[in-house]
Structure 1
Amino acid sequence: MSDQIMMEEPLQFGQGGRLFGILTQPSPSAHIVQALPIFVFLSSGITHRAGPRRLYVRLARKLAEIGFTSLRVDLAGKGDSFSRQHLTAEQSLMEDFSDIITVLEARQNQLQLIACGLCSGADDAIRVTSEDPRVVGMVLLDPVCEQDEGFQVRDMVKKFTHLGRYQRKLKHIARKVFNPDNGNEPSLAEVGLRDSPSSQQTQAAFELIRQRKGRVFSLLTSYSQDYYNQLGQMGRVLGLDNYQDYCTEHYWPGASHTYSLEHHRAKLIEEIKVWAAGFIHS
């Protein structure tokens, strides 16, 4: 960590200090002249605030270089945060987000947020966007997307033109069934931790970002191949006016769900940094 570029501070907050996160800020010497939205990285499934392979740590530090503050937070019951009793998952999320707002408002004069998450974290980002008008941006990594009319045809073509790939996939599934303790990372869906928002909730969240004059970054990987298989599919399914004006949609079928290759992690960090710069007014 470089003192000239950023500062990092551990935060324990919420009732009884039940939540834990890391606040990453640009150094005071950076002379930030514009109030920028704060990135809030929501933990997902079995992954805590660092993100898969410390992806969120690197993202927060890279964003600090261009003036953005970030909070990487363990939601209740994950990482170093205590669980909330007798609440549904969505109720717990909203209580967590209220505590996040409170701790950030105590440090910032003007508060706008960019909700970020991978898989179930993307689902949570969509939910909080619909509930809180301070959210002006979303970074969604492998969000759920409905199949469009051409999905089945494209999927069939790929099966016949990339037979070797599907044979490898079947072998991979067989290995997991007959040797479950082989050290492979389970996906969040496989361990039953994903409760995705409805298509109506997703559409509403995107529309709210448009009304707030915000922006959305979506990236789908090989993990999404059972429901998404062509760049632009999300925009077609959502059917929103001016989608391309405020939404950036990426499709990386060669990347894994948790960005296991350094090449993909570095590329993702750079893509989000470039996207985030769109919030900086010249």
Structure 2
Amino acid sequence: MIKEKIFTYGEHQHGIGVVSEPDDTSTSPVVVLLNAGLSHRAEPYRLNVLLARRLAALGYIALRVDLSGKGDSPTRESMSNRESVSLDWTYMKQSLEILYGPRTVLMFGLCSGADNGIKLCAQDPDIKGLILLDPVSRQDPGFARRDLLRKLTNLSKWQNIHKILLRRFKQSTNKESSLLDSPMDLRDEPNDEDMDQCLSGIVKKDGRVLALFTSQTLYHYNKCGQFASAMGIDGLTPVTEEFFWPNAKHIYPVEMHRNRLIETVADWADRHIQHFKSMKPE
């Protein structure tokens, strides 16, 4: 039987979240589900709610949380996003340890939630698992060739080439912002040092990574396995599972795609729960 309760953290306990607990929490790893962008901790289509409850049913403690300035948590002034997220995690971890003691932690995040999970993992040795939806990925040597082939064989693009060219001409003549060019420009993505520290750390800690990619990432990711191999970190590929669903949308609005995501995450989490339970917090 899953139990749920309000979780608070931070200055004056103003940060808000919800914890989903299994019956027995004595050895449960903690999964922190970070919200993406400015969205509420439930996430679009209640994705985080559905995932948190499914993970709790498998034996994880699942915390879906609003970072400062998002959802129901108030904004923290005069800080960069990186500084605010780092301080949020310091307070969250303190509150989690009061409730459950030191635990092995996994970070889950979609889009900017994945960005924040990577940056936090780079700094915290207790974060030993990552579930990343549409994270940053480096391009491997074959990316450009595959990208060109995809564009050349896309019948829809050829049928609408006049509309595409007209739109680009209007953007150029109107001097529209480059924010239109790449979704990454709207994100505070991890830098190369963050990526290296995070993922080399995962290997050293014998952690695990699940990375899932949709059509949103086609401009930087276009082959299953690219994420781990392009990092060039020895030992990363064996501890990383990747899925590439180019027909799925970024926030999983189609129920069939959403259900496939939930089942994939649940299967991965179930297969690795004993491994995470065996790991000792630093």
Q: TM-score, normalised by structure 2?
A: 0.86
Structure 2 distance, partners of 1:21, 1:161, is 46
Q: Kindly tell me: are residues 161 and 89 of structure 1, through their superposed partners in 2, closer, same or farther at Cα, counting changes over 3 Å? A: same
Deviations 1:120-161 (A, max 9, x none): 110000010011111010111000112222111111111111
> Secondary structure at the residue paired with 1:196?
coil
Q: Kindly tell me: are residues 90 and 263 of structure 1, through their superposed partners in 2, closer, same or farther at Cα, counting changes over 3 Å? A: same
Residue of structure 2 equivalent to 1:115: 107
Residue of structure 2 equivalent to 1:155: 147
- The structure whose residues are more often helix, as a share, is 2
1:277: Cα distance to partner? 1.6
> Secondary structure at the residue paired with 2:274?
coil
Q: For 1:19, which of 3, 15, 18 is the aligned residue?
A: 15
Gap regions ≥5 residues in structure 2: 172-179, 276-282
Gap regions ≥5 residues in structure 1: 179-186
1:248: Cα distance to partner? 0.7
Structure 2 distance, partners of 1:55, 1:11, is 19
Structure 2 distance, partners of 1:254, 1:151, is 18
CA contact (8 A) 1:145 1:199 kept: no
Residue of structure 2 equivalent to 1:182: none
CA contact (8 A) 1:151 1:229 kept: yes
Write the mapping of 1:125-140 to structure 2, written as runs, cut at 5 A: 125-140=117-132
Q: For 2:136, which of 125, 138, 144 is the aligned residue?
A: 144
Q: TM-score, normalised by structure 1?
A: 0.86
Residue identity matched to 1:201: D
> Secondary structure at the residue paired with 1:263?
helix
1:200: Cα distance to partner? 3.1
1:89: Cα distance to partner? 0.9
1:215 and 2:219 are equivalent in the alignment: no
Residue identity matched to 1:143: P
1:262 and 2:262 are equivalent in the alignment: no
Q: Kindly tell me: are residues 72 and 169 of structure 1, through their superposed partners in 2, closer, same or farther at Cα, counting changes over 3 Å? A: farther
Residue of structure 2 equivalent to 1:195: 188
Residue of structure 2 equivalent to 1:181: none
Structure 1 distance, partners of 2:195, 2:158, is 30
> Secondary structure at the residue paired with 1:231?
coil
**CA RMSD of superposed structures (Å):** 2.4
Structure 1 distance, partners of 2:214, 2:69, is 27
Q: Kindly tell me: are residues 191 and 276 of structure 1, through their superposed partners in 2, closer, same or farther at Cα, counting changes over 3 Å? A: closer
Residue identity matched to 1:271: T
Residue of structure 1 equivalent to 2:72: 80
> Secondary structure at the residue paired with 1:207?
helix
Deviations 1:98-131 (A, max 9, x none): 1110110011133111011111110000010011
> Secondary structure at the residue paired with 1:149?
coil
1:167: Cα distance to partner? 5.1
Residue of structure 1 equivalent to 2:238: 245
Structure 2 distance, partners of 1:242, 1:37, is 23
* Count of matched residue pairs: 264
Q: Kindly tell me: are residues 167 and 9 of structure 1, through their superposed partners in 2, closer, same or farther at Cα, counting changes over 3 Å? A: farther
CA contact (8 A) 1:76 1:82 kept: yes
**More divergent stretch after superposition (193-202 vs 127-136):** 193-202
Deviations 1:77-116 (A, max 9, x none): 0000011111111110111001110110011133111011
1:278 and 2:274 are equivalent in the alignment: no
Deviations 1:7-26 (A, max 9, x none): 11112321112210001101
> Secondary structure at the residue paired with 2:32?
strand
Structure 1 distance, partners of 2:61, 2:245, is 27
Deviations 1:32-76 (A, max 9, x none): 6x6132000111112121122110100011111111111101000
